[in-house]
């Protein structure tokens, strides 16, 4: 499961994602630090197009071509890697339209208190912090007004030892050595990339409890990552 994630720093982004761009990344219009990327919001992706790799904005929540409304993407923010190849909404995108989803961490919630009604957010990320890439799939959807919209979904797999105490699923985090395979612009047999759909090595990953501010999608600022004790003093 991945319901929120972060991309807070641009440092090393071009090198980490092996991008080929003709201008400094800091000059690109897409960039601003994101402390709490939420479903249906625009976020950066690197799509497998026939061109030098570049970052572009897409809407989180894949909208199939036959969908009646853009809002239907809110239900398709994640795709289970084990079954995406059999799902009508995902199978063509998995075979033909894959992308990297840049991030530097993601959130999960632990249920506590009576009847598990208290949800405590945790930020899960590599330490030291660095840019990572989730395995994503993207799609094109044409609105009734004739406007094309690019949307995407994040593939998930079983949780590793760091995430498992919080949730049984986590995003697929691609090894940089596998970026070329994942971004091959040609059609791919999904069974041929099944080995990429595995939990991230837990070594070097941590889960830190953070401010309940992150529960609100419109909170997109550094305070989202404050420890809860500090957040209560604000």
Residues serving a catalytic function are 2, 108
**What is the distance of C-alpha 37 from the center of its chain?**
9
Backbone angles phi, psi at 102, to 5 degrees: -65, 140
In order of 5, 57, 89, 95, 177, the CA distances from 186 in angstroms are 29, 22, 19, 8, 18
User: Which is nearest to 102 in space by CA: 157, 46, 141?
Assistant: 46
Which residues fall within 8 angstroms of residue 154, CB to CB, at 6 or more apart? 2, 60, 77, 78, 79, 101, 134, 135, 136, 171, 172
Dist CA 197 CA 172 (whole Å): 6
The three-state secondary structure class of 192 is helix
Instruction: Provide the β-strand partners of residue 125.
Output: 206
């Amino acid at each position: 499961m991945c319901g929120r994630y972060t991309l807070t720093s641009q440092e090393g982004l071009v090198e980490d994602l092996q991008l080929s761009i003709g201008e400094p990344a800091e000059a690109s219009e897409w960039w601003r630090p994101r402390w709490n990327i939420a479903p249906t919001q625009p976020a950066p992706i690197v799509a497998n197009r026939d061109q030098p790799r570049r970052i572009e904005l897409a809407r989180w929540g894949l909208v199939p071509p036959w969908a009646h409304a853009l809002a239907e993407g809110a239900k398709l923010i994640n795709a289970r890697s084990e079954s995406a190849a059999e799902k009508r909404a995902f199978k063509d995108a998995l075979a033909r339209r894959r992308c990297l989803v840049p991030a530097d961490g993601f959130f999960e919630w632990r249920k506590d208190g009576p009847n598990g009604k208290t949800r405590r957010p945790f930020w899960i990320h590599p330490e030291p912090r660095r840019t990572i890439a989730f395995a994503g799939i993207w799609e094109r959807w044409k609105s009734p007004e004739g406007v094309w919209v690019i949307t995407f979904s994040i593939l998930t797999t079983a949780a590793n030892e760091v995430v498992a105490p919080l949730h049984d699923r986590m995003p697929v985090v691609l090894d940089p050595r596998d970026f070329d395979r994942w971004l091959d612009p040609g059609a791919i047999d999904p069974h041929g990339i099944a080995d990429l759909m595995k939990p991230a090595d837990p070594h070097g990953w941590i889960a830190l409890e953070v401010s309940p501010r992150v529960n609100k999608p419109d909170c997109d600022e550094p305070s989202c990552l404050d420890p809860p004790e500090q957040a209560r003093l604000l």
